[in-house]
Amino acid sequence: MNAVANPDIVHHAALDARMVEAARDIRLLARVSWPAGHEEHFLADYARGVVKLPQPEYPRVDYSATRAEFDAIAAAADPQHPLGQYLIESARSWALAAQLCENLGTQAVSDLSIQLFGRPDECLPGDGPTTREAARHFISIADELDHELMAPAEHVTISATALQLQLQRELDDYFDARVIEVVLDPDLIAKAAAGATRIRLRHGAAFSDYDRHQLLQHEAFVHSLTALNGREQPVLASMALSSPRITATQEGLATFAEQITGSIDIGRMKRISLRIEAVAMALGGADFIEVFRYFLGAGQNPEDSFASAQRVFRGVPTTGGYAFTKDTVYLRGLVGVHTFFRWALREQKLQLCRWLFAGKMTLADVQRFEPLFADGVLKPARWLPQWVARANGLAGMLAFSLFANRIRLDKIVADGHVPDL
């Protein structure tokens, strides 16, 4: 029997099609984003010494019927089947996202966000330090480094318009066609965001050369490629969608891509870490003004400080005690993905790392799906970033990482100096 025609596969494929239809209107990040205009008014008032908490308003939505559909999908899926497990966890994730959208502007969003994305005080994979402790580590290192050590070229900024043209040219060369379009968006909170066929850059933002490489590797060659590859799946169309449950793996994979290609700098690690610290501050009672000033004090300009603080208070009251916690997933996801890749090398399962690009999924999903990829139920990735496609180079880096982690610096460093080897 054709594996795709297996009754279990057909049953779960039909459930997946229902889930895709139900999730169509749940655009979580778009709904939690603040309406345009708040930045201009806030910064103008702040410059005049007038300090007022922003009070964004959100549209009211009712997803009760949609949530009931997600519940029905989860109930009909087989919890013993890999596809069933995927559908149950995905449907529950979408239901939480729908509930969050129904409660925008209220305290409830903070708890729902924590259920979806976690907290800053959660431990990293392997019972390591907490996400917040890791963030403080990177902030400390970044603060200790002399900014003057940067090469002159690293101080040169690139306009959003120039970056748009550069990225468009590189993507057209990669696909040998116009598959992904790069556009400018004046209302974007983040400096950039990616969908399957479009990458948006915040109009008016200034970028560095590191930003250019980071956007290419992070946004285009992870977020966009996994969405495009997910559209190629004959059974699980939902693998093209960014369900909340895959956020940590997606952002971890994208940040790992920056790391392995040398596209990330300590400044980028500091920005990611500052957001995690800011989320912890907000949960601890800091209001929007305090968080905005925290980013100012960390060296960000007023525009970037507002955008960073805005990320923390998406969908929640700005009075303190609540936060939208998505930004906590970046470091946790990075450590998780890095650990997974090292494990895959040790277990001689690097093929899993390539399958991870076949759509949007979690690290647990790709392991459950191994027999489905082997049987042809799921298709391998049509497009891969070069660093994954060149398996020998990836294996070399991971092999060195596995060995280097066995060397303890505290055992070889004496009086602040490394002895001659």
What's the chain look like in SS3? CCHHHCHHHHHHHHHHHHHHHHHCCCCHHHHHCCCCCHHHHHHHHHHCCCCCCCCCCCCCCCCHHHHHHHHHHHHHCCCCCHHHHHHHHHHHHHHHHHHHHHCCCCCHHHHHHHHHHCCCCCECCCCCCEHHHHHHHHHHHHHHCCHHHCCHHHHCCEEHHHHHHHHHHHHHHHHCCCCCEEEEECCCCCCEEECCCEEEEECCCEECHHHHHHHHHHHHHHHHHHHHHHCCCCCCHHHHCCCHHHHHHHHHHHHHHHHHCCCCCHHHHHHHHHHHHHHHHHHCCCCHHHHHHHHHHCCCCHHHHHHHHHHHCCCCCCCCCCCCHHHHHHHHHHHHHHHHHHHHHHCCCCHHHHHCCCCCCCHHHHHHCHHHHHCCCCCCCCCCCHHHHCHHHHHHHHHHHHHHCCCCHHHHCECCECCCC
Residue 110 lies in a domain: no
pLDDT of residue 264: 85
Q: Is the per-residue pLDDT at 410 higher than 70?
A: no
Q: Is the per-residue pLDDT at 286 higher than 90?
A: yes
Banded model confidence at residue 208, pLDDT cuts 50, 70, 90: confident
Residue 66 lies in a domain: no
- The domain total for the chain is 1
Round the average pLDDT of the chain to a whole number and report it.
90
Banded model confidence at residue 418, pLDDT cuts 50, 70, 90: very low
Residue from 119, 90, 110 nearest 26 by CA: 90
Distance CA 272, CA 29 (A): 18
Averaged over 150-162, what is the pLDDT?
Answer: 71
Residue 64 lies in a domain: no
pLDDT of residue 421: 47
Bridging pattern class, strands 192-194 and 198-202: antiparallel
Task: Tokens 């660093």: give the residue.
Answer: 387
Q: Is the per-residue pLDDT at 148 higher than 60?
A: no
pLDDT of residue 391: 66
Distance CA 201, CA 191 (A): 6
Q: Is the per-residue pLDDT at 419 higher than 60?
A: no
Cα torsion 357, 361, 364, 370 to 10°: value is -50
Q: Is the per-residue pLDDT at 413 higher than 70?
A: no
Residue 269 lies in a domain: yes
Averaged over 179-189, what is the pLDDT?
Answer: 90
How does pLDDT run across 14-40, given as a tens digit for each residue? 999 999 999 999 999 999 999 878 988
Banded model confidence at residue 378, pLDDT cuts 50, 70, 90: very high
Averaged over 263-277, what is the pLDDT?
Answer: 91
Residue ranges making up the domain that contains 207: 118-412
Q: Is the per-residue pLDDT at 368 higher than 70?
A: yes
Residue 89 lies in a domain: no
Q: Is the per-residue pLDDT at 189 higher than 90?
A: no
Q: Which residues contact 12 (CB under 8 A, 6 or more apart)?
A: 77, 78, 81, 83, 84, 87, 235
Q: Is the per-residue pLDDT at 407 higher than 80?
A: no
pLDDT of residue 415: 52
Across 68-77, 201-210, 346-355, the highest mean pLDDT is recorded for 68-77
How does pLDDT run across 89-145, given as a tens digit for each residue? 999 999 999 999 999 999 999 999 999 999 999 998 877 799 999 999 999 988 877
Q: Is the per-residue pLDDT at 345 higher than 90?
A: no
Number of Cβ within 10 Å of residue 74's Cβ equals 20
pLDDT of residue 77: 98
Residue 19 lies in a domain: no
Q: Is the per-residue pLDDT at 56 higher than 60?
A: yes
Residue 188 lies in a domain: yes
Task: Tokens 């800091």: give the residue.
Answer: 286
Distance CA 350, CA 222 (A): 17
Residue 309 lies in a domain: yes
Q: Please tell me the least confidently modeled range out of 19-28, 142-151, 244-253.
A: 142-151
